[in-house]
Chains A and B, each alone.
Chain A
Amino acid sequence: MSEHEHSEHIVSPGTYLVIILTLLALTGITVAAAYVNLGRFNIVVALAIATVKATLVVLIFMHAKYVPQRTKLVIIAGIFWLALLLFLTLSDYASRVDYRGVRFPMSQNISHILNQHG
């Protein structure tokens, strides 16, 4: 009793070509951006571009745009669980007070947090 896939959508070579060129361009942008001093945002930009690239690969090369709902749920669940692992663990680290001499943004005592602006 498999869920019925609509007749197979074949992605054209033309589309693949556009995607690969986009990916290469984005790679170039990533490298170029690394040479610009954006401070704390270098990593944000790098990961954002990587995520765009990954999304293109998943949607087009891996046909995720055309798969049934169930498969989309599997993909989202995987990404969500990775986010859970990272986010919840980092939230423990971030909330510890001065752990191992490393200061996370929140690792100050309560009065500082109450007095700070955001």
Chain B
Amino acid sequence: MTRLRSHGWIIVLVAVMALGLAAPAAAAEKTLEIGVLGPLSGGAASYGVELVRAAEIRTDEINKAGGLKVGGDVYKIKLVTYDHKASAADAATAANKLIFQDKVKYIIGNAVGATCNAVQTVSEPQKVLFAFVCWGTNNLGPDKPYSFRSMLSQWEVAEPFYRWVKDKHPAIKKIAIISPNDTSGLDTNTAVVKAVKSLGLELVAEETYERGTKDFYPILNKILAKKPDLLDVAASPPGEAGLILKQAHELGFKGAKGWTAGTNPASLVSISGPEAAEHLWSPLNINVKSDFVDAKVRKFGDEYEKRYKEVPGAIAVANYAAFDVITKAMQEAGSVDTDKVLAALTSRPYDTVWGRLAIGAKETYGIDRQFLYPMVISEIRSGKSVDIEQVLPAALKVMKK
């Protein structure tokens, strides 16, 4: 062996690492870098994509208006986004990169429960404000003061939704739920089960499936044998929920349908077909075209559809609102320091695309970090989502003077 062969590689390795180290630092000229994380590929990609697109729209709006005026400075917002592919380890590395290398102090947008935990191990000690839509119950807590959930979760939504079902449709007594087998799915099932039981309804089936499943006939056969009055596809994402309803329809199911944690009916209908989705109720969904929502939401929806040729769901609206609120809180605080912004954020309600936003739910999580806004129950009629009633989550009722 020659010297070149045996030591050549050591030399190359050192050179490669030096190359990596020598990456130039970003020019710091009153730019505010905000991180966005999400699953941008794989099964949960629809969530991540909505988060990023919403962030892009709000960022562009702010920058086009001349930038974000905070205190005496004007900031141009720059988004830094990474794909964690729904893997906890990848999310931790991406968070490290965002926080230590890109030096962001704000991460607005993340989905998939396990990844939120991973990010929080880095973001909390570093006092990075972290707003996400993850539904893991333990993602919020007094030990995580810098973490916020920007979209209603199953804990805020399940009870009011089922109370509405019980009041308006007393014939419905037997409930079946089906969710994917991961953190969000299991937590959603837990919340729904709790709501169902507390209202005196009967839970006849509680099922989970592996993400990526396409054939739901076996599970549906099991469920339909119990003759449920209402089938709740709970935390299933639009693609899989659409398939479940389509196949339930094929199997002859004619009962009521619910989607407790559903966020994008248009997407679901495109997979299930209008017939199978008829009369599906979604409490969490935000219908960007309806008259129930603020004009600003409709404007956002139009812009989103123009840019991306797809209708946004609740996750996109949530992240848009989160961006809006947090930048407003920076202006209120007169600073981009996260402690000051945190104080400003929790000190008063803000006007957002949801209307008056409050941040609360201490009863559930031990700390007020859940964005609260009125939910709108919508129903699918002839393939279109129609808003039928506005309902307040319990925590918001408590807060309304």
A binds B: no
By a beta-carbon cutoff of 8 Å, the part of chain A in contact with chain B is none
By a beta-carbon cutoff of 8 Å, the part of chain B in contact with chain A is none
